[in-house]
Amino acid sequence: MKRQYRVGILGATGAVGQRFVSLLARHPWFEPVSLMASGKSKGKPYPEACLWHLDDPIPEYCSRLTVEACLPAEGLDLVFSGLDAGVAGSIETDFASFGTPVISNARTHRLVKDVPLIVPEINSEHLSLIESQKKRLNSEGFIVTNPNCSTIILSLALAPLQAKFGLEDVVVTTLQALSGAGYPGPGAMDILDNIIPYIPGEEEKIQTEPLKIFGTLSGNSIVPKRMNISARCHRVQVTDGHLLSVSVRLKQRPKPEEMIAAWQDYTPGIAGLQLPSLPSRSIRYTCVDNRPQPRLDRDSGNGMTIWIGRLRSCNVLDYHFSVLGHNTIRGAAGGSILVAELLAARNLIAGRCPLE
Amino acid sequence: MKRQYRVGILGATGAVGQRFVSLLARHPWFEPVSLMASGKSKGKPYPEACLWHLDDPIPEYCSRLTVEACLPAEGLDLVFSGLDAGVAGSIETDFASFGTPVISNARTHRLVKDVPLIVPEINSEHLSLIESQKKRLNSEGFIVTNPNCSTIILSLALAPLQAKFGLEDVVVTTLQALSGAGYPGPGAMDILDNIIPYIPGEEEKIQTEPLKIFGTLSGNSIVPKRMNISARCHRVQVTDGHLLSVSVRLKQRPKPEEMIAAWQDYTPGIAGLQLPSLPSRSIRYTCVDNRPQPRLDRDSGNGMTIWIGRLRSCNVLDYHFSVLGHNTIRGAAGGSILVAELLAARNLIAGRCPLE
Amino acid sequence: MKRQYRVGILGATGAVGQRFVSLLARHPWFEPVSLMASGKSKGKPYPEACLWHLDDPIPEYCSRLTVEACLPAEGLDLVFSGLDAGVAGSIETDFASFGTPVISNARTHRLVKDVPLIVPEINSEHLSLIESQKKRLNSEGFIVTNPNCSTIILSLALAPLQAKFGLEDVVVTTLQALSGAGYPGPGAMDILDNIIPYIPGEEEKIQTEPLKIFGTLSGNSIVPKRMNISARCHRVQVTDGHLLSVSVRLKQRPKPEEMIAAWQDYTPGIAGLQLPSLPSRSIRYTCVDNRPQPRLDRDSGNGMTIWIGRLRSCNVLDYHFSVLGHNTIRGAAGGSILVAELLAARNLIAGRCPLE
Amino acid sequence: MKRQYRVGILGATGAVGQRFVSLLARHPWFEPVSLMASGKSKGKPYPEACLWHLDDPIPEYCSRLTVEACLPAEGLDLVFSGLDAGVAGSIETDFASFGTPVISNARTHRLVKDVPLIVPEINSEHLSLIESQKKRLNSEGFIVTNPNCSTIILSLALAPLQAKFGLEDVVVTTLQALSGAGYPGPGAMDILDNIIPYIPGEEEKIQTEPLKIFGTLSGNSIVPKRMNISARCHRVQVTDGHLLSVSVRLKQRPKPEEMIAAWQDYTPGIAGLQLPSLPSRSIRYTCVDNRPQPRLDRDSGNGMTIWIGRLRSCNVLDYHFSVLGHNTIRGAAGGSILVAELLAARNLIAGRCPLE
């Protein structure tokens, strides 16, 4: 089958960028044709420009591509951005203004009024913000954003609870993997035999982004959901996979078996769209006492399934439980690709550039 | 100066036992004269019987001692017990019934009505339970218990808050070190690049033991404090040092600077007793964003000081903060030695057995 | 295509056994129909009997199989053995005597005179020992052995050198992964922030097994190659992948580029047999200064390719270089499957038991 | 007792610099009065300028010192240099030319003809090079260098063998700790679950520096010892402590018990000088099969004792054995302090600057 869309990757040599490069190697719809990164890599073949650090070997197609500058150009139906927040703002806006849809992982545009902040299973209807954004930019291009990695994983776990029982309060403590800090991660002497109880900016993102994700579309903007989230974040010595310890207070207090059923029976609205990256189950629940665990569960559903476990009554709020998800797949590159698939299925991106 | 008390160590070859052996090497009051362990080590010189695993070298005095069976005998003013809960129950009772005071680290007797559960800074007055216990046992011996390692560290952090503002609700997520699982810890393949979100029995201990510690002495028993504690425990890849992420709701809501002052100004009632293991400050607060950290802060005050940091408003309860303490020193052997020093200072153990 | 051979796995719940279970899930020739383990697992569905610890999820077919005792029975064309040396001896002999070919990973039979010790790329002609073994056992069954994990990886690296330049002396220091110790590996407190400079029995295996592998078939036995191997082994904190630091003295001293060419041009004699597990290249050489590395290179060729790098002149012997291979795939289960494929291609096992 | 010498520390905020700061806190002879580092730290109190990363808490005296620029000034009897090789060359020369003795850890001057490269136990007589160096510099100041960390540890292990049996060939593979790379070490994602088989420049240092250390003083220079050293270096996931796997060929082949006796009976010529940092035994031998280990043995003798173990016959050379030493204490700061003590004992530095 022919791949319909020609796509570019911004920040292709970085931690999230490499995941894009790897995950798109055999994607049925998207063909990566442009790998873009900062100036000093420009002009080199990708395998030379990039210090590849994933376990999976570097895909073959990369050797045919030369790293390009992050400049808008014809010939791209879509770009994925793994750029750091420091530079993402203007570059992503440039592409969108030029006419190219952008799926961004940076925090920069997430809370902008007419920029959708999307977890496809939860709030695909927020994509209708694109229309007003296009008008503002006076362009066919636009920006759609992927939430923070921990936010995506948390929000997915909360979605069935919100739908069935209503969320009021959430207290979450995260144990986050090294890859979330971007390659090469913290210094080894700082993290070996240690934990760092602080990730700059992370707690704020987890406390605010879900309010928009669970918010209500009203005309050209989102009315944030009213709920309280308290987050504390830790960097731990794990390569991939964020583990979250979560306590919740719900509007209606269900029985434990109803909680578990809500997760196990969860069927997102987009289930019928045949999106290639949507796992057969976005959420799984385990009854095994000492699971989920990062090393054993992060790759489930090709890294797109989150696992929940250890549901227990909470002596202060209603319930607590553990959530695990792959931070650079579900929480970043894989999540963005799923957003792009949703855009394609909804005809929000055009395969304007025929692939020869 | 002469050391006044002849002491024994039960379970001397285990993880907590080795810490006792190490910490007592140069203790000014207690002289270890009997190292006791399970049958198969019996009769061997301690250095042979024991697979020493602490960074500090094995103390010289150990080579003069032969491992003995865990049987009561004359000549001991006090025994420290690092026995596992599985065997601690009857052995510790045997010693107490025989007439020897026992400081126990096992969970077995902690919640028994007339057994004190002591954090010396917090509830030294609970030692008056010893009298009724002695009557029950019809012995000069008795058992005093040390709380669970995480409980000690948490309770110390809460003590100044309870004293000044009153505690209502506590939500705690722990990141616990390998040494807490006893030597040699979990299998390396289970914990490398991983987290185990479960420690059997741990959450229950943290949720119940502080209620007794902060309880009120009423005649011959303790009326537990009414408060709600919700705990979730994780085993992480750290050698020593438990890190706790804590949210609290208080009766009176202080300002942040009042919270910090409560910790920094904390002077326990026992401060005047000149106990050798009481650190100059039991609690310290750091304003550094990414502290406390296990590797950098656990050895503070010879492992007896806990560190608090990252005080922030909590969107659900009142405040959250991080707490760190050394689990096998403050949370086990060192904590027990401080209890014993308190007993000695209060004349609750007799130096009956003159040291020659 | 139909799978022709019905195979069993001995020790199916252990570290090597799980790799067999995983690697055979979609094997084109071999269908696992019997998972055998020690008594206490017997009768349980495999997923219950087994504490699965691989990153790859447990294959679906396992849930249809119940763990059986390690007893010979009709209906198996071949068994793979991941049994420990302690029990492998008699059980494997029982199967062979019963008439079932056995591919063993245990050390027990490796040095027995008429038992082939096979690295398929190197010494497939040694399989002719099977005939005399069958006579001795008076059976259609027989035992073929897989060398020690480090030995396989080392021998593969040495094979092109022996073929082209002749080997005289080898000094090797190994840095071996945790999985080589069998699940769950050493205690975490023994290996975190540490190295263990000793693996019982390992040095002896590396020093003797290659002499048989590189030996000459003479009638019904192997005349060991005369060469000197000196080995020192370390256990390090890596999940999978053994790294070897090797110095060699050769009969002819080639130029460095001839050394590299010997590895890069290496085409084993079995290359034409279309064995499914034979990687496109058994040996690869990297010119990158700081490679090979366990995490980045171990999965190459589905874990069947070894990597060599850092060739330099040695001031004492002729050359030194680094070798890396996946210890539980190339060095154990994957290596055994390749041996079995070789047996099948050579018509040394019969697909006697038709698959329905 | 009054401390006689006022000393400065160059590069005081770095990995080796912090060890100097810590080890000198209570030194009986040397009082650190000047902490010098690169420009941007200048003028800040040391505890602010420095991201302290040692387990031991930052010494109290540091809070009274402000970081100064690396410029020669009156008032220092001696400076210790923990500067990187990149900047050490000119700065150290400036101090020496100004008149201040310098003990350097950088590689820059180690092989300069009239610069002593000293392991105090081995070649204290090489200090006579100082005279000609002073003439060359036309100064009362001079530079003495500390060898590379692995070289110091290796040379100490070889010293008794050279003295008694004569060294011919040495093949060494190192497993080196993270702290050897300087704070904060390699990126965590590069080293977790991994080994890096390359340390730039390290192999060359180990292969050449011992030839000067074991060389013979001849007039104003050193005739290097003739011997062959082959080194391969690895970075592993250990905080402190380098472990070496060593094979040696000796002129005379002793029995194993003679090898062990050579180490155990080793008494360096400087033993009578009462140097405060010289451990009671510079070398210890262990018969325990799986020792020495970094975590358990590195702190022996306050980090100044090296451990040898696992002596076995080598099938290629004569013997092989394992060596362990603390890389930032014995192998860097502690080693330099011992050199300085030797200089003081030999009256090669003057306590010219009276301490008030």
Q: What is the pLDDT of residues D110-131, one digit of tens each?
A: 999 999 999 999 999 999 999 9
What size, in residues, is chain C?
A: 356
Query: What pLDDT score was predicted for residue C162?
Result: 98
Cis peptide before D292 (omega within 30 of 0): yes
Q: Which pLDDT score, from 0 to 100, does residue C3 have? A: 76
Beta strands in D56-110 (DSSP E): 78-81, 102-104
Distance from CA of C236 to the nearest CA of B (A): 10
Comparing CB atoms, the residue among A184, A193, A237 nearest residue D187 is A184
Are the beta carbons of D247 and C315 separated by less than 8 Å?
no
Of C200, C232, C322, the CB nearest to D197: C322
Residue A356 confidence (pLDDT) above 50: no
A296–chain C Cβ distance below 8 A for any pair: yes
Q: Is the pLDDT of residue D2 over 80?
A: no
Confidence of residue D356 (pLDDT cuts 50, 70, 90): very low
Chains in touch with C (≥3 Cβ pairs < 8 A)? A, B, D
pLDDT at position C56: 83
Q: Supply the DSSP symbol for D198.
A: -
Q: Residue A40: what pLDDT?
A: 82
Residues near C188 by beta carbon (within 8 Å), at least 6 away in sequence: B178, B184, B185, B186, B187, B188, B190, B191, B192, B237
Question: And the tokens for D59?
Answer: 């010494």
CA D55 centroid distance within chain: 20
Q: How are beta strands A319-325 and D221-223 bridged, if at all?
A: unpaired
Cβ–Cβ gap B184/C189 under 8 Å: yes
DSSP, residue by residue, A64-126: G-B-B-S---TT-SEEEE---HHHHHHHHHHHHHHT--EEE-SSTTTTSTTS-B--HHHHGGG
pLDDT band (50, 70, 90) for residue D38: confident
Copy the structure tokens of residue A202.
Answer: 């992370």
Tokens 């900016």 map to which residue?
A: A201
Exposed, middle or buried: residue D348 (CB in 10 Å: 0-12, 13-18, 19+)?
Answer: middle
User: What is the nearest CA distance from C259 to chain D, expressed in angstroms?
Assistant: 18
**In the structure, what pLDDT confidence band is assigned to residue B353 with cuts at 50, 70 and 90?**
low
Contact between B184 and C193 using a beta-carbon 8 Å cutoff? no
- Asked whether the beta carbons of C115 and C92 are under 8 A apart, the reply is no
CA distance B193 to chain D (A): 7
Q: Residue window 201-240, chain D: list those with CB within 8 Å of chain C.
A: 203, 207, 228-230, 232, 234, 236-239
Task: Give the phi and the psi of residue A121 in degrees, each rounded to 5.
Answer: -65, -25
Distance from CA of C70 to the nearest CA of A (A): 28
Q: Which residues contact D218 (CB under 8 A, 6 or more apart)?
A: none
**Which positions ≥6 away from D261 have C-beta within 8 Å?**
none
By the 10 Å C-beta count (0-12 exposed, 13-18 middle, 19+ buried), C217 is classed as middle
Q: Which residues of B are catalytic?
A: 149, 242
Pick among B315, B323, B326, B327 to test the A interface (most A CBs inside 10 A): B315
* Contact call for B239 and C193, based on CB within 8 A: yes
Q: Establish if A288 touches chain C: CB-CB under 8 angstroms.
A: no
Mean pLDDT of chain A: 95
Residues 6 or more apart whose CB falls under 8 angstroms from that of B167 comprise B158, B161, B214, B225, B227, B248, B250, B251
| ipTM for the predicted complex | 0.95
DSSP 8-state assignment for residue C146: P
CB contact under 8 A, D53 and B296: yes
Given this chain, do its domains B5-147+333-345 and B149-326 carry the same CATH topology?
no
Which of A189, A237, A295 has the highest number of chain D CBs within 10 A, making it the mutation to test binding with D? A189
Could you check whether the bond before residue D268 is cis, i.e. omega within 30 degrees of 0? no
Q: In the block, which residue shows the tokens 């948490």?
A: B154
Residue type, C276: P
Residue D1's pLDDT is 42
Task: Kindly state the tokens that stand for B225.
Answer: 């404090």
Sketch the domain layout of chain B as residue ranges. 5-147+333-345, 149-326
DSSP result, B23-38: HTTT-SSEEEEEEE--
Contact between D299 and B53 using a beta-carbon 8 Å cutoff: no
Tell me the mean pLDDT in the region D254-261.
Answer: 98
**Minimal-distance CA residue of chain C relative to B191:** C188
Tens of pLDDT, residue by residue over D286-315, are 999 999 999 999 999 999 999 999 999 999
Instruction: Exactly one of A149, A233, A320, A326 is catalytic; name it.
Output: A149
Banded model confidence at residue B356, pLDDT cuts 50, 70, 90? very low
State whether A193 and B237 contact (CB < 8 Å). yes
Distance from CA of C95 to the nearest CA of A (A): 34
Tens digit of each residue's pLDDT (9 = 90 or more) over A236-285: 999 999 999 999 999 999 999 999 999 999 999 999 999 999 999 999 99
* pLDDT tens column, B136-167: 999 999 999 999 999 999 999 999 999 999 99
Read off the tokens for B127. Answer: 């030692």
Architecture field, domain D5-147+333-345: 3-Layer(aba) Sandwich (3.40)
Q: Would you place residue A1 in the very low, low, confident or very high pLDDT band (cuts 50, 70, 90)?
A: very low
Angstrom distance (rounded) from CA A18 to CA B54: 42
User: Over 80: is that where the pLDDT of B187 sits?
Assistant: yes
- Is residue A355 pLDDT above 70, yes or no? no
Whether omega before C292 lies within 30 degrees of 0, making that bond cis, reads yes
* Cα nearest neighbour of D300 on chain B: B57
For chain C, give the percent of residues with pLDDT over 90: 91
Q: Is C242 a catalytic residue?
A: yes
From A37-41, B125-129, C300-304, the region with the lowest mean pLDDT: A37-41
Return the C-alpha torsion angle A187, A189, A192, A196, nearest 10.
-60
E runs forming strands in C115-196:
143-145, 167-176
Specify the higher pLDDT residue, B57 or D306. D306
Q: For residue C212, is pLDDT > 90?
A: yes
Q: Is B151 on the interface with D (CB under 8 A)?
A: no
Please state which of the ranges A68-72, A350-354, B20-24, C269-273 shows the lowest mean pLDDT: A350-354
Q: Biggest alpha carbon distance in chain B? A: 62
Which chain D residues contact residue C296 at CB under 8 A? 194
Question: What are the DSSP calls for A195-260, one per residue?
Answer: -B---TTHHHHHHHHHHHHT-EEETTEEE----EEEEEEEE-S-SS-EEEEEEEEESS---HHHHH
Q: What is the mean pLDDT of residues A169-182?
A: 96
State residue A38's pLDDT score: 82
Q: State whether residue B192 sits within 8 Å of chain D by CB.
A: yes
Mean pLDDT across the stretch C81-92? 94
Contact predicate B24/B5, CB 8 Å: no
At position A19, the amino acid (one-letter code) is R
**CB contact burial C253-289 (16+ within 10 A = b; e otherwise):** ebeeeebbebbeebebebeebebebbbebbbbbbeee
CB spacing of A197 vs B232 below 8 angstroms: no
Decide if pLDDT at D354 tops 70.
no
Q: Which residues of A touch B200 (CB under 8 A)?
A: 289
B288: nearest CA partner in chain A = A198
For residues A336 and A80, the answer to whether their CB atoms sit within 8 Å is yes
Residue given tokens 């008030």 in the structure block = D356
Classify domain D149-326 at the CATH topology level: Dihydrodipicolinate Reductase; domain 2 (3.30.360)
Sequence-distant (≥ 6) Cβ neighbours of residue B194 within 8 angstroms: A238, A293, A294, A295, A296, B237
At residue C356, the pLDDT reads: 46
pLDDT at position C310 is 98
The CATH classification number of A149-325 equals 3.30.360.10
Nearest CA-CA distance, residue B59 and chain D, Å = 12
* 3-state secondary structure (DSSP) of residue D208: helix
CA distance B285 to B300: 12
* Cα separation values, D67 from A250, C113, D25, D34, Å: 55, 72, 16, 7
Closest CA to A208 of A189, A226, A194: A226
DSSP state of D246: E
- Token pair of A297, please? 């569960």
CA–CA separation, D269 vs B349, rounded Å? 53
Q: Torsion angle of alpha carbons B252, B257, B258, B262, nearest 10°? A: 130
- Tokens at residue A185, please? 């991660």
Question: With contacts defined as CB-CB under 8 Å, which chain C residues touch B179?
Answer: 189
Residues 53-82 of B with CB under 8 A from D: 53, 55-57
pLDDT above 70 coverage of chain C, percent: 98
The pTM of this model reads 0.95
Find the mean pLDDT for residues B104-108: 96
Please state, in angstroms and rounded to a whole number, the distance separating the CA atoms of residues D87 and D183: 17
Mean pLDDT of chain B: 95
Record: contact D188-A183, CB cut-off 8 A:
no
D189 close contact with B: CB closer than 8 A: no
Amino acid B352: pLDDT: 62
Q: Tell me the nearest-neighbour CA distance from A196 into chain B, angstroms.
A: 6
Angle A43-A45-A48 from CA coordinates, rounded to 5°: 110
C215 pLDDT above the threshold of 90: yes
Structure tokens of C175? 């840095």
Output the pLDDT for position B354.
52
Model pLDDT, residue C38: 83
B328 touches chain C (CB under 8 A): no
The answer to whether the CB of A165 falls within 8 A of the CB of A157 is no
Helices (H), B61-171: 85-98, 120-123, 129-137, 149-165
Dmax of chain C from CA atoms? 62
pLDDT at A354 (0 to 100): 53
Q: What share of chain B is helix, strand, coil (3-state, %, to 5)?
A: 35, 25, 40
CA torsion sign for C52, C56, C58, C59 is negative
